Amino acid sequence: MSGTVEEAADNKAETAKIWPPNIQAVFKRMAPASRYLGLEIIAADQTARTVEVAFNAGPELCNMWGGIQGGMVAAMLDDVMSLAVGLDLEWGQISPTLELKVSMLNAARPGRIIGRGRVIKRGKSVGFIEGELLAEDGTLLATGSSTATFVTLKRKEEPAE
Amino acid sequence: MSGTVEEAADNKAETAKIWPPNIQAVFKRMAPASRYLGLEIIAADQTARTVEVAFNAGPELCNMWGGIQGGMVAAMLDDVMSLAVGLDLEWGQISPTLELKVSMLNAARPGRIIGRGRVIKRGKSVGFIEGELLAEDGTLLATGSSTATFVTLKRKEEPAE
């Protein structure tokens, strides 16, 4: 490994500039739930509609046996798939998850977990996404699929008195 | 409402005595991930194989729009379904989730969320569970189903030299 921590941070900020607006927004102001999961964005490809992230998973994500709780594995998959489908949202649009399905193939332990998300279809009002989580040694930990909808937020209007 | 906080805590401890051993264990030493979700056990019925809990959901579970992140809704369902299937585990057994499917029917907001879990089938090595989350006003927020397996933990043995 070469370079200082400061250089690494600079490189990261430089890379971030080419990310799509929605991914940049996450980079600048991460959601509390994503912060808890230890989310770190590695790459985003708007054309291919793929995202690669890492989850730096600490003991706070664990069950009583020191493994990452199944629900938190599901939350990681939801997070990376939501990022993927968010790649070409319009400004003012959000993409809440409607359905989420997760298969847990191997026990996930605290540490660095790689997450990949890929949009299978981006329709007008619905998107279909796939995701996977891998341990640092390449072991496939979990796979997931989700369905999201696209909602355009309305501006708040004053209620009529 | 009547009674002091101390009385309420006493009543809770009294109720807890009739819970099955696995549920008592969770009451005594909650997993970090369950604590983050704000888990509180309300009732457990070993004969009916049902569990009722509350999740006291704070802003730390939220997305950037102040709603509870979809993944955390999934984590709540996994938690309550895991408790249900854990009702008649033998000592030394654990029940990791294999598959989890969640339908998100309405946006979940921070506050008190009621969770219910019910074992549909408890086989020899696999269990099937259903769960649901409700807002305090009774609105159905999400439903889930999961498949869990039963694993008997081995005692650690010294490696042969």
- ipTM confidence score: 0.85
State how far the Cα of A58 lies from the Cα of A68, in Å rounded to an integer.
Answer: 9
Residue closest to A115 by CA, chosen among A96, A95, A130, A101: A130
CB contact under 8 A, A33 and B74: no
pLDDT surpasses 60 at A122: yes
Of the residues B23, B27, B63, the best mutation for testing chain A's interface (the one with the most A CB atoms within 10 Å of its CB) is B63
Least confident of A18-22, A39-43, A148-152, B103-107: A18-22
CB contact under 8 A, B96 and A70: yes
List, in order, residues 6 or more apart from B60 with CB less than 8 Å away: A32, A33, A36, B36
What's the gap in Å between the CA of B2 and the closest CA on chain A?
35
Chain B residue with CA closest to A101: the answer is B101
pLDDT surpasses 60 at A80: yes
pLDDT of residue A26: 78
List, in order, residues 6 or more apart from B83 with CB less than 8 Å away: B23, B26, B41, B44, B51, B53, B117
Chain A residue with CA closest to B96: the answer is A70
pLDDT of residue B128: 98
**A10 confidence band (pLDDT: 50, 70, 90):** low
Residue closest to B108 by CA, chosen among A116, A78, A64, A85: A78
Burial class (CB in 10 A: 0-12, 13-18, 19+), A53: buried
CB contact under 8 A, B64 and A25: yes
Least confident of A28-32, A42-46, A52-56, B90-94: B90-94
pLDDT of residue A156: 61
pLDDT surpasses 90 at A147: yes
Domains and CATH numbers, chain A: 5-152 (3.10.129.10)
First to last CA, chain B: 65
pLDDT of residue A160: 52
Burial class (CB in 10 A: 0-12, 13-18, 19+), A14: exposed
Q: What are the chain B neighbours of A38 within 8 Å (beta carbons)? A: none
pTM of the model: 0.86
In this structure, which amino acid lies at residue A118?
R
pLDDT of residue B161: 47
CB contact under 8 A, B71 and A76: yes
